[in-house]
């Protein structure tokens, strides 16, 4: 191959290499959300109530165990799962139960879900149930949101802030 | 005479291998074999790694490891010192991308050529985790920028890992709002972004441990040219941050670096679990491939202690670190014995070609050498060559030595031409050339493999150096070089050999005519000189 043709060929291939590196380092853009979508992000970490009440041990039961283990109350460790229900503009959007963590199911329930919604005004109703001994949901919050395109509406659970948090 | 099937197109090279070979030949014409990037992808990987390292050290000097400072310090670097920090930052990104490109091509090339099975299993297997490590290094780097791409990566990564057992979904809570993150998070990221590349470098070092003289530096022209191209790209399209992190919004359109972040869209288009299945399954498949597609291995070299003098030439020439020297039992420590490591031996026979005992001039009926190949011993080669040379007739009688994996030489045989195909041309002891000439051949044609086309590495280079007198054992200077021709065709260029042979024989006839006589075979001369 002629020397000039060789150098020209090298130039073309080096330019192609640069073009591939330069282009795919940022392009094509990934459309993570459609332009008219917003995001509802549910995230919480919350220990449910214990599944059963503590029970008073009888004197006979206490007598059967060593003195250092004589605790008056027998409290089951297993916790209730945390059930979450989300209603958007009067329609069910999401309903799921999150089991407690741990081998003895005595840890906190953790939940994370990512739900895309249409941007715009919405009426949001969120319900949490963390006690199987109580029928229905023991926490509820309703909120009007105006979600701009790409905006994240966060649903959390913080007992010290009154329970369900929407922001 | 052949010892193995020639793996040319006819004998089952895959379509991918043929395509890659065609591409390599095209690149050979443009770059020349010595500067062909496709033939030094591993070396280019090292080269880009060092560019990334140097530029990374520069960036780190100006990087502020805090939530507020990270973004600002990198933006200042790119905008306030555009021709220093800006170029360094861009080089850091683009050289990292180039690293992934050559890594991927390297993997596909070795896969296409079947260079993952048999004795190569270690190099293949040790290369698989490097892919993950390299990708992890890049992801960590993008995280440090702390722009909206970093926000996307941070959340997506934690969402992705949440699909694995043992990883809590609560990890993602770190990215719910700015209050959940601290500057220590960046200290951790910096630690990872330094630690992972160090692990990668260690892995790359392990990866080349079973290869003699592994090439870790590309051709100088190629190296500087690629660096120049990346600098030009850095000037033309400086690497800049995207918008700063805002956890109240979800980035909708993201400029992904597809070389590192190709899997992320799949997390959302499919599911996190599906992406683990696809990537984990692919990795597992790559790991077990050497055993899934195993083929019978050629016989490995054998040492004959009675003929090994412990000179170490086989050790020096073995392309795969498969030979050791150990003290001889019951002898003084300076007396060594070669030992072959069977798992590492490729069966190429280069060691037999390097052994000084492989000379056919030794006055023994049964020629045994210090290290030899069971499938074609040096003694067998001498015997067959003596018989073949004895049968040669006519003028300009030629003996051709070729390679089983290179251009086939058997088609050249005729009354005045004898052809021998060896496992690798590097197996040819140069003294065989002189021996054949003394036995009655008028010329010797040595057919090796083109640069970069050698199945076993080093074989063509060693025989070239031995014949040129630059490597031991060398061809004696008294052997007339005009009667020896060396050719380096590609493995699928067997057809070109006929013309080359015809030209060589014509040249031999002219030489003989000019000398006033035709070299005659010395009738009755013993071939055990």
pLDDT at res. B384: 93
- With vertex at residue B428, the alpha carbon angle to CA B425 and CA B431, rounded to the nearest 5 degrees, is 150
Residue A35 has pLDDT above 60, yes or no: yes
Q: Please give the Cα distance from A91 to A118 (Å, whole number).
A: 14
* Domain edges within chain A: 1-30, 32-51+78-166
Residue B520 — φ and ψ, nearest 5°? -105, 150
Tally of structural domains, chain B: 2
> Which of A6-10, A28-32, B181-185 is least confident?
B181-185
B363 plus B277 within the same structural domain: no
Q: Please give the Cα distance from B228 to B248 (Å, whole number).
A: 41
B235 plus B354 within the same structural domain: no
Residues 55-94, chain B: which have Cβ within 8 Å of A?
Answer: 93-94
Closest CA–CA distance from residue B268 to any residue of chain A (Å): 8
| Residues facing residue A114 across a β-bridge | A41
Instruction: Find the CB nearest A152 among B94, B237, B250.
Output: B250
Q: Please give the Cα distance from B44 to B210 (Å, whole number).
A: 19
C-alpha distance from residue A82 to each of A26, A41, A137, B463 (Å): 41, 17, 10, 75
* Pairwise CB contact (< 8 Å): B250 & A39: yes
Kindly state whether residue B148 falls inside one of the protein's structural domains. Answer: yes
Q: Is B424 on the interface with A (CB under 8 A)?
A: no
Kindly state whether residue B519 falls inside one of the protein's structural domains. Answer: no
Tens digit of each residue's pLDDT (9 = 90 or more) over B401-419 = 999 988 999 889 999 999 9
Kindly state whether residue B6 falls inside one of the protein's structural domains. Answer: no
Closest CA–CA distance from residue A137 to any residue of chain B (Å): 23
Instruction: Find the CB nearest A152 among B30, B249, B265.
Output: B249
* Across A119-129, average pLDDT: 91
CB contacts < 8 A, A to B, total 114
Q: Is A65 on the interface with B (CB under 8 A)?
A: no
**What is the pLDDT confidence band of residue B516, given thresholds at 50, 70 and 90?**
low
User: Residue B181 has which token pair?
Assistant: 């993150």
pLDDT at res. B4: 41
B263 plus B142 within the same structural domain: yes
The ipTM is 0.83
What order do you get walking across the sheet with A82-88 strand by strand?
A: A91-98, A82-88, A120-129, A139-147
* Pairwise CB contact (< 8 Å): B252 & A25: no
B283 plus B356 within the same structural domain: no
Contact B29, B36 (CB under 8 A): no
Q: Please give the Cα distance from B161 to B171 (Å, whole number).
A: 9
Tens digit of each residue's pLDDT (9 = 90 or more) over B325-339 = 998 887 666 788 999
Which CATH number does the domain housing residue B193 bear? 1.20.810.10
pLDDT at res. B237: 95
User: How many Cα atoms occupy the beta-carbon half-sphere of B145 within 13 Å?
Assistant: 25
The burial class, CB within 10 Å (0-12 / 13-18 / 19+), for B89 is buried
Kindly state whether residue B237 falls inside one of the protein's structural domains. Answer: yes
Closest CA–CA distance from residue A52 to any residue of chain B (Å): 26
**What is the pLDDT confidence band of residue B517, given thresholds at 50, 70 and 90?**
low
Kindly state whether residue B268 falls inside one of the protein's structural domains. Answer: yes
B244 plus B317 within the same structural domain: no
Boundaries of domain holding B472: 302-514
Nearest residue in chain A measured CA to CA from B142: A25
Tens digit of each residue's pLDDT (9 = 90 or more) over A55-97 = 899 999 899 989 898 888 888 888 999 999 999 998 988 898 9
Q: Is A103 on the interface with B (CB under 8 A)?
A: no
**What is the pLDDT confidence band of residue B527, given thresholds at 50, 70 and 90?**
very low
Residue A142 — φ and ψ, nearest 5°? -120, 145
Residue B176 has pLDDT above 80, yes or no: no
B232 plus B267 within the same structural domain: yes
Please tell me the pTM assigned to this model.
0.85
Q: What is the CATH number of domain A32-51+78-166?
A: 2.60.40
Closest CA–CA distance from residue A155 to any residue of chain B (Å): 10
Beta B398-403 vs B417-422: how paired, if at all? parallel
Instruction: Find the CB nearest B237 among A1, A10, A22.
Output: A22
Rg (CA), chain A: 28
* Pairwise CB contact (< 8 Å): B250 & A43: no
Q: How high does pLDDT run on average in chain B?
A: 89
* Pairwise CB contact (< 8 Å): A14 & B229: yes
* Pairwise CB contact (< 8 Å): A150 & B249: yes
Closest CA–CA distance from residue A18 to any residue of chain B (Å): 6
Kindly state whether residue B438 falls inside one of the protein's structural domains. Answer: yes
């Amino acid at each position: 191959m002629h020397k000039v043709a060789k150098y020209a060929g090298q130039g073309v291939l080096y330019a192609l290499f640069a073009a591939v590196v330069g282009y795919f380092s940022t392009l094509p853009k990934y459309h993570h959300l459609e332009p008219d979508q917003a995001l509802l992000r549910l995230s919480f970490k919350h220990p449910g109530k214990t599944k059963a009440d503590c029970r008073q041990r009888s004197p006979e039961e206490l007598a059967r165990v060593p003195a250092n283990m004589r605790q008056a109350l027998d409290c089951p460790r297993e916790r209730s799962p945390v059930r979450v229900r989300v209603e958007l503009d009067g329609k069910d959007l999401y309903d799921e139960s999150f089991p407690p963590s741990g081998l003895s199911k005595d840890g906190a329930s953790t939940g994370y879900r990512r739900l895309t919604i249409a941007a715009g005004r919405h009426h949001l109703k969120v319900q949490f149930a963390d006690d199987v001994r109580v029928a229905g949901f023991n926490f509820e919050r309703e909120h009007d949101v105006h979600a701009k395109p790409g905006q994240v509406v966060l649903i959390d659970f913080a007992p010290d802030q009154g329970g369900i948090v929407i922001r | 005479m052949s010892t193995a099937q020639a793996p040319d197109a006819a004998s089952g090279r895959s379509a991918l291998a043929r395509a890659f070979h065609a591409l390599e030949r095209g690149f050979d014409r443009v770059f020349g074999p010595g500067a062909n990037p496709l033939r030094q992808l591993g070396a280019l990987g090292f080269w880009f790694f060092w560019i990334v390292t140097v530029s990374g050290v520069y960036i780190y000097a100006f990087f502020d490891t805090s939530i507020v400072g990270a973004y600002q310090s990198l933006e200042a670097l790119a905008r306030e010192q555009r021709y220093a920090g800006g170029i360094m930052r861009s080089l850091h990104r683009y050289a990292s991308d180039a690293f992934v490109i050559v890594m991927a091509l390297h993997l596909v090339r070795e896969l296409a050529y079947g260079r993952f099975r048999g004795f190569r299993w270690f190099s293949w297997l040790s290369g698989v985790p490097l892919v993950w490590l390299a990708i992890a290094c890049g992801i960590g780097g993008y995280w440090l920028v702390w722009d909206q791409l970093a926000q996307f990566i941070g959340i997506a990564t934690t969402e992705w890992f949440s699909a694995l057992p043992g990883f809590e979904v609560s990890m993602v809570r770190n990215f719910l709002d700015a209050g959940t993150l601290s500057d220590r998070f960046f200290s951790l990221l910096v630690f990872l972004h330094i630690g992972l590349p160090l692990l990668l470098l260690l892995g790359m070092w392990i990866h080349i441990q079973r290869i003699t003289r592994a090439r870790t530096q590309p051709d100088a022209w190629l190296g500087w040219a690629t660096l120049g191209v990346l600098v030009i790209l850095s000037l033309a399209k400086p690497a800049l941050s995207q918008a700063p992190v805002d956890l109240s919004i979800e980035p909708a359109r993201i400029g992904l670096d597809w070389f590192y972040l190709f899997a992320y869209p799949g997390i959302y288009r499919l599911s996190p679990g599906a992406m683990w299945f696809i990537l984990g399954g692919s990795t597992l498949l790559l790991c077990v491939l050497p055993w899934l597609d195993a083929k019978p291995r050629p016989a490995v070299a054998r040492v004959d202690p009675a003929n090994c003098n412990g000179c170490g030439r086989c050790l020096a020439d073995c392309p795969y670190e498969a030979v050791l020297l150990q003290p001889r039992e019951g002898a003084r420590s300076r007396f060594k014995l070669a030992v072959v490591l069977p798992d590492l031996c490729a069966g190429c026979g280069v060691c037999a070609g390097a052994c000084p005992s492989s000379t056919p001039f030794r006055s023994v009926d049964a020629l045994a050498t210090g290290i030899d190949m069971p499938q074609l011993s040096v003694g067998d080669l001498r015997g067959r060559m003596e018989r073949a040379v004895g049968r040669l007739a006519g003028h300009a009688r030629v003996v051709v030595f070729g390679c089983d994996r290179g251009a086939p030489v058997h088609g050249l045989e005729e009354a005045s031409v004898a052809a021998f195909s060896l496992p690798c041309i590097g197996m040819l002891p140069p003294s065989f050339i002189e021996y054949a000439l003394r036995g009655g051949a008028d010329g010797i044609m040595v057919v090796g493999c083109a640069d970069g086309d050698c199945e076993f590495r080093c074989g063509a280079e060693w025989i070239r150096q031995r014949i040129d007198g630059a490597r031991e054992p060398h061809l004696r200077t008294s052997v007339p070089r005009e009667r020896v021709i060396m050719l380096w065709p590609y493995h699928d260029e067997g057809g070109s050999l006929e013309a080359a042979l015809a030209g060589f024989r014509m040249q031999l006839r002219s030489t003989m005519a000019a000398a006033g006589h035709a070299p005659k075979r010395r009738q009755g001369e013993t071939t055990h000189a």
